[in-house]
Each structure stands twice: as C-alpha cells, then as structure tokens.
Structure 1
Amino acid sequence: MSQLATKSATAHSITEKSLPFISDSYINRYQQEYKDDFVDKWDEIIDWRRRQESEGSFFIKALHNYGVKRVLDVATGTGFHSIQLLNAGFDVVSVDGSANMLTKAYKNAKQYGAQIKTAQADWRWLSRIIHEKFDAIICLGNSFTHLFTEIDQKKSLTEFYYCLKNNGILIIDQRNYDAILDAGFRVTHEHYYCGKSVTIQPVYIDEHLIRFCYAFSDGSQHHLNLNPLRSCKMMELLSGAGFKDQKTYGDFKETFHCYEPDFLINIVKK
C-alpha cells in the first residue's frame, strides 16, 4: 500500500471539538453504517461487470474531454471507479472515510492488476490529508448525500474546490431525489446498483431523510440514512462554492425527462 495509505485522518477530531457548530455526526454515522459485514457485500450491490456494461466509458471520455490526467476519487468505496480510471491510464488517489472500504478497495485493486494509492479522510478536512492539486475530483455513488447539514455540505465543497487546479473539474452524482420525493421510488438495476440478488427499498421517506434497506439473498439486511438533496439545492450549493459551467446528465444521457433517470451526474468547473 502506498505511503498515502498510512496517513491518519485523526487531525479532524481535534478541530471538530474546537468548532462544535460543525456536525461530527456525519463521520460517526458513516463509519457505523459501513461495518465489515456490509462492506464485504458492497460489490454484490454494484455487480462490477454489469455496472461497467451500463456506464461504458462515460467517465473516461468526460475526463479526457477536459484534458484530465490526475484524479482525486474522494468516495472510492470498494474502488470501482478508481480501478477503472487507473487501468485507463489516469493518475488516481483514492479517498474514503471508511477504513473498511479502503481495505476492500486495496484488495480489489490487486485482483484487477492496479496499484491503488489510498488515504482515509473526512471531506470537511480533506486538504489536511491531501496536499496536492488535481485536474479532477470525482464524488460518485450518491456519496455526497451522506452529509445532512448545510455547513458540512458547504465545507466539503470548499475543500473539493481547494484541492482542484485552476480550471479543474468536479464530477459529483446523486440519486434523482426529485423523482423519489415527487413520484415515488423505483429501481431498475440498470445503471448504478446492478446486482440483482439485492433488494433496495426505502423504509422511510421525507424531505429531510430517506432510510434505505439493503436486503441480501442470505437474509441479512443493512441500512443507510441519506439526505434527499433536490437537484436545485445541489446546483445552489455548487454555485455557492464557486463552481461554474454546470452540465447535468441523467443516467449518462445529456437529454432526459426530469423524473426519468435513477441518477443525476453533475460536471462543474473551478
């Protein structure tokens, strides 16, 4: 594992105590939800082969279109996109808030013949761990909606902005929460969570919280609590952080009906 993987993210705990107006529940909840047994099953949810067939070279082409060489994957999870990009020739650093996820990503990288560089970090203090500048940051897998307070959201986007080179890009996605809140939940298993042996259903929905249940074929269940950010709120946050030239795609398509896609992908520029 690279030297980056040995760095500790403990510095943020001191700052959180001295700045109590910034919520510390985000990282605690995240680490509690992604325990070993859930992380071990995460690739069953994704189904790497079907996921690759679905998205094709969308992200690789998007990064090439902006002349990107160095990428910071701030929500690497079990490493799917980091490994895809490494094998496509990009220089990638992979970050996650969960040590369990990073361990799984490292094992997956070895399996797929990639040399992954990892670092554990809380997004709100990202620049304390990551001291380099990147051509692009990717924040995928609906990860940003783990943040529940506007202070945490703004702080994280400010850190993303800081870690980008001038004219660098941020690619950030989320579930289509407008569709879920207005028209009801549906999942197609066609684009993001492609594993057909897993049932994903919300067990609670309101404008401020969606609690998802992940039910596996062995009878086990795990839950995630997520913030249903509407697309207009995401646009407001990105603009407020200084990002510009926003392009939005629905399930990898540039033209789509607002309630049609499962996921929305935003590409913005520093």
Structure 2
Amino acid sequence: MSAVQDSRIKEQNYGSNPLAIRDSDHYQAEYVQNFVEKWDELIDWSARATSEGDFFIRTLREHGVQRVLDVATGTGFHSVRLLEAGFNVASADGSMEMLVKAFDNATRRGQILRTLHADWRYLTRDVQEKFDAIVCLGNSFTHLFEESDRRKALAEFYAALNHDGILILDQRNYDSILDSGFSTKHTYYYCGDNVKAEPEHMDDGLARFRYQFPDGSEYHLNMFPLRKEYTRRLLVEVGFQQVTTYGDFQETYHQDDPDFFIHVARKD
C-alpha cells in the first residue's frame, strides 16, 4: 500500500500487539486522516507561538540563515511562522496527509507552502537544493527506531546544508521519563485545551504515547525514547562540530526540568 493510500485510512491499526510495533516506516500508518485533522487541537497554534516566543526565528537570524528546510513540517506550524518572519522556506514531510493539511493551513493564513514529500533517509535523492538551515521539530526524529536510520537521516541533513549551515532538532526529555517517571506541564509544545499527551508504555526501546481529545477520541504514536547525550553524540559522529543543547528554549537548565530538549548543531 502506498503512503498516500495509507494516510487516507481514518483509524489507526496496531494489530494484536501494539508494543511490538517498533519500525521506522510505521509512522505513515500512524498519521491517519482523523488523527491529522485533530493534530492542531493538540498544538494550538496561537498558544504555542506564545510559549515558544521568537526562539527559532532569533536563532536562525543569529546564524545568518535565509533558506530553511523544514523536514518534518507536520501541519505546517513552524513553516508558516518562518515564512511570516521572512525566511525562504521549503516544507517536507514523509506523510502526504500532513503535507495536504499543512498546505491548507498556510493558505488560510495567506502563505503558500512549497511542499516536498520526502523520506529523511534519502533526502538528497528527493531534494537537490542546499539550505542554510534544516529544522526537524515536534519530536519527529524519535520516529526512527533503528540506529542505522538515525545515522543515515542525520548524514542526509548534513549533506543538504551549506557550509556553516545549522540543524535544529528537538526531542522530548525521555531521560526524565525513563529515569523518574512522566511529569509535564505541557507548557511549550502541547498547548491545546483539555488535550492529554501521556505515555501509555515506556521501556528502553519504545515510548508509546496516548493522545486524548475532548470529544473522547484517542490515538497513539510509537516512538523511540532518545536520550539526550546519545542524540548529541550521534550529531557529532556524523560531522556536526558544535552542538548546543537548550532545555525548553533555555541554555541553562536542570536535567530533569525541561519537557523538551532543542539541539542546535553547526556544520563547519
């Protein structure tokens, strides 16, 4: 079944043993039409813009960025914000359903997205351009379960960057969840009213999250629980020379405090 056909399915299906689904390619079957339609309830664009402030815009400008590739555009939140800030943006995603939703969201806000359907592991096959920055946000990198896939994707990001380009990649604070249990204020990333995003199962190889919406509907995502230092090491090993990590947009933080980490990695 193609990714386009798969994404049009309305309900998720994890089979008889959902905890056994630990496959990098399964995300296409997770972002079914009904879940994508509700994704913006989870984020709440206005509330998230307020919580993030100008962190990403400021960081990109500090590095002299003009051309940006958003490799996990989702429903388009960051792509639209960057377009509104004056950046030249290309928006990629592996889910065609997400790209359709993102294009529609942008159009309703007076922006035209240049969308690309692309697999990170073969990014330079599908995208021949070079960029000053690549952003991979929304905890998206944790959809890759195999280390070989993570290394391949990061190497593709590196190759698609201009000299002195930067990669901005975020991830949930899985260290805290694995070591101390789940606790979150939902302050920055998931700002929707009466929406819950909580782990249903955690082990060293799987973070299965449950997303509950006010109408009673429920969806799941199976992800790999990346530890912060592991991600930083991978970034260095694929060639990024300088990696700065922020906790909820702050460079100084206590290890267990942030909900999310944001890595800014520079290609020199």
Task: Give TM-score scaled by structure 1 length.
Answer: 0.90
Alignment of 1:1-16 (within 5 A): none
Unaligned runs of 5+ in 1: 1-7, 11-23
**In 1, Cα distance between equivalents of 2:107 and 2:173:** 33
- Structure 2 residue 85 is matched with structure 1 residue 91: no
Structure 2 counterpart SS, 1:83? helix
Instruction: Give the % identical residues.
Output: 56
Aligned to 1:67: 64
Residue of structure 2 aligned with 1:231, choices 228, 232, 238: 228
Indicate if the aligned counterparts of 2:74 and 2:99 stay in contact, CA closer than 8 A: yes
Aligned to 1:21: none
Per-residue displacement from partner, 1:218-248 (whole Å, max 9, x unpaired)?
Answer: 1111000010010111011101110121111
Letter in 2 for 1:250: G
Residue of structure 2 aligned with 1:132, choices 126, 129, 133: 129
Indicate if the aligned counterparts of 2:40 and 2:75 stay in contact, CA closer than 8 A: yes
Per-residue displacement from partner, 1:6-43 (whole Å, max 9, x unpaired)?
Answer: xx999xxxxxxxxxxxxx9422x111100000000000
**In 1, Cα distance between equivalents of 2:198 and 2:78:** 24
Structure 2 counterpart SS, 1:49? helix
Aligned to 1:204: 201
State the 4+ residue runs in structure 1 displaced beyond 6 angstroms: none
**In 2, Cα distance between equivalents of 1:227 and 1:235:** 15
**In 2, Cα distance between equivalents of 1:186 and 1:39:** 25
**In 1, Cα distance between equivalents of 2:124 and 2:23:** 20
Aligned to 1:32: 29
Structure 2 counterpart SS, 1:72? strand
**In 2, Cα distance between equivalents of 1:124 and 1:66:** 26
Unaligned runs of 5+ in 2: 5-21
Count of aligned positions: 249
Letter in 2 for 1:72: L
**In 1, Cα distance between equivalents of 2:66 and 2:218:** 39
- Structure 2 residue 74 is matched with structure 1 residue 77: yes
Indicate if the aligned counterparts of 1:169 and 1:268 stay in contact, CA closer than 8 A: yes
Residue of structure 2 aligned with 1:49, choices 46, 51, 56: 46
Residue of structure 2 aligned with 1:248, choices 245, 248, 252: 245
Offset, 1:187: 2.2
Task: Give TM-score scaled by structure 2 length.
Answer: 0.91
Structure 1 counterpart SS, 2:205? coil
